[in-house]
């Protein structure tokens, strides 16, 4: 189904934000509810680097639900509001909902795939060793190295059905994470990059990780605390430069089914006449997914990794009132016609061990791997 509006221009966050500001400014919106998630909504998924094409669009119809109830939003392009078209889209949306309910299948089974031809372990550990050498040489403080694992889908897969199935499975297995499915990129991320409501914004920074059985007290681990401090600084320092009022809380332990992270929450007042994208452009990519200093880390990543696509980029939704939720696209996979490509990364510091960092990426691949039936 074609969206009501989509953005095809420069994928840089600032340019996309400007385009969304113009759409929001000129849109005629009938929204009697006026609470988060209602009114004009766009879904967005941006690349780790600004060269990657973005997925940024307003769906023709959208069902929403929260603890206060549920709603339906319809959107269309016209010279003036057209009640007849709105009614037609509403009927189409309700028919789609009823058909989906009638055809609801039993609990989703794992997605059948072939085992990957290679894990990329050797190349990844070599990249980690190179990053450690660069950090020890003073070229950077932290570099996040990621690896991709490609699974071939069995049979005659329908990418849209696979995406829906993967999102449902992740939602069942990781209910405390944010589940997303935009343009074939599907994941369960624990990290909210930036969310905004009522002129206030909030970010959660994750860095420093332990797996069950490692017997690591993250709150007493010098390496993990330093990695976390660097990641928090990569968010707070650019925001300080914008002269905004900041508050931080952390670090604290964020416990997930398969990992524990150090986390810090950052909150701030959004400057007058500024948007979520204004803040995002200042902080992305943070040290949690890129490194520090940002430019040096990103250049190192580009020279050692294939393109990350939209992995580790902002993903979520925005509204016409300056609010929204944009998380980091982590614990995710890109669904292609015949394959499913998963990504995972780890923050590299001066004392990082390549074997240990590879094991961390294996743990971070678990959310996707848990949804697959691998032969």
pLDDT per position as a tens digit, 103-126: 766 557 899 999 998 889 999 999
Whose tokens are 């967005």? That residue is 44
Average pLDDT over residues 326-333: 96
Per-residue pLDDT band for 27 (boundaries 50, 70, 90) equals very high
Residue 116, C-beta contacts closer than 8 angstroms, at least 6 positions apart: 149, 150, 151
Nearest to 180 by CA among 78, 321, 344, 333: 333
With H, G, I as helix, E, B as strand and everything else as coil, classify residue 319: strand
Tens digit of each residue's pLDDT (9 = 90 or more) over 193-236: 999 988 899 999 998 899 887 888 999 999 899 989 988 999 99
pLDDT at residue 107, as a whole number? 59
Residue 144, pLDDT above cutoff 70: yes
For residues 35 and 101, which has the higher predicted lDDT (pLDDT)?
Answer: 35
Average pLDDT over residues 330-349: 96
| pTM of the entire predicted model | 0.90
Residue 11, pLDDT above cutoff 70: yes
% helix, strand, coil for the chain, step of 5: 35, 30, 35
Tens digit of each residue's pLDDT (9 = 90 or more) over 56-86: 999 999 999 988 889 999 999 998 888 999 9
pLDDT at residue 162, as a whole number? 95
Beta-ladder partners of 318: 42, 324
Average pLDDT over residues 321-343: 95
Percentage of the chain exceeding pLDDT 70: 99
Tens digit of each residue's pLDDT (9 = 90 or more) over 239-295: 999 888 899 999 999 988 878 999 999 999 988 878 889 899 999 999 989 999 999
Task: Give the separation between CA 85 and CA 77, rounded to whole angstroms.
Answer: 10
Torsion of CA 183, 189, 192, 195, to 10 degrees: 40
What is the distance between the terminal CA atoms of the chain, rounded to a whole angstrom? 34
Per-residue pLDDT band for 92 (boundaries 50, 70, 90) equals very high
Long-range CB contacts (within 8 A, 24+) of 277-280: 277/13, 277/14, 277/16, 277/17, 277/18, 277/20, 277/318, 278/14, 278/17, 278/242, 279/194, 279/196, 279/201, 279/239, 279/242, 280/13, 280/17, 280/193, 280/194, 280/314, 280/326
pLDDT at residue 258, as a whole number? 78
Nearest to 199 by CA among 282, 269, 247: 269
Sequence spans of domains, the chain: 5-374
**Superfamily of domain 5-374, CATH level 4:** Anthranilate synthase (3.60.120.10)
Task: Give the separation between CA 163 and CA 156, rounded to whole angstroms.
Answer: 14
Task: Give the separation between CA 175 and CA 171, rounded to whole angstroms.
Answer: 5
Average pLDDT value for the chain: 92
pLDDT at residue 213, as a whole number? 76
191 in Cβ contact with 345 (< 8 Å)? no
Residue 349, C-beta contacts closer than 8 angstroms, at least 6 positions apart: 132, 135, 141, 142, 223, 226, 227
Per-residue pLDDT band for 184 (boundaries 50, 70, 90) equals very high
């Amino acid at each position: 189904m074609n969206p009501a509006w989509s953005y095809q221009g420069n994928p840089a966050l600032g340019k996309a934000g400007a385009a969304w500001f113009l759409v929001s400014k000129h849109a005629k919106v009938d929204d009697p509810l006026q609470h988060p998630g209602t009114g004009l909504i766009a879904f967005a998924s941006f690349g780790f680097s600004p060269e990657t094409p973005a997925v940024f669009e307003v769906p023709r119809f959208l069902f929403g639900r929260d603890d206060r109830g549920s709603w339906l939003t319809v959107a269309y392009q016209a010279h003036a509001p057209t009640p007849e078209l709105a009614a037609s889209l509403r009927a189409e949306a309700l028919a789609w909902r009823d058909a989906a309910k009638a055809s609801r299948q039993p609990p989703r089974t794992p997605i059948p795939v072939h085992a990957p031809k290679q894990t990329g372990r050797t190349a990844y550990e070599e990249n980690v060793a190179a990053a450690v050498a660069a950090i020890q040489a003073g070229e950077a403080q932290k570099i996040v190295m990621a690896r991709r694992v490609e699974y071939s889908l069995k049979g005659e897969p329908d990418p849209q059905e696979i995406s829906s199935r993967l999102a449902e499975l992740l939602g069942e297995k990781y209910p405390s994470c944010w589940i997303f499915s935009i343009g074939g990129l599907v994941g369960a991320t624990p990290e909210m990059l930036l969310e905004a409501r009522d002129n206030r914004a909030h970010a959660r920074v994750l860095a420093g990780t332990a797996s069950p059985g490692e017997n690591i007290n993250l709150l007493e681990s010098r390496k993990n605390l330093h990695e976390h401090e660097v990641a928090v600084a990569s968010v707070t320092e650019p925001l300080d430069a914008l002269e905004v009022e900041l508050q931080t809380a952390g670090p604290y332990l964020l416990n997930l089914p398969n990992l524990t992270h150090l986390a810090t929450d950052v909150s701030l007042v959004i400057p007058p006449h500024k948007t979520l994208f204004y803040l995002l452009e200042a902080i992305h990519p943070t040290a949690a997914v890129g490194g520090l200093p940002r430019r040096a880390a990103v250049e190192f990543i580009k020279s050692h990794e294939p393109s990350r696509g939209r992995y580790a980029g902002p993903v979520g939704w925005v509204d016409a009132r300056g609010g929204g939720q944009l998380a980091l696209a982590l614990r995710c996979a890109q669904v292609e016609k015949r394959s499913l490509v998963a990504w995972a990364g780890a923050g590299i510091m001066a004392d990082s061990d390549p074997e240990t960092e590879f094991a961390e990426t294996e743990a971070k691949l678990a959310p996707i791997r848990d949804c697959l039936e691998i032969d």
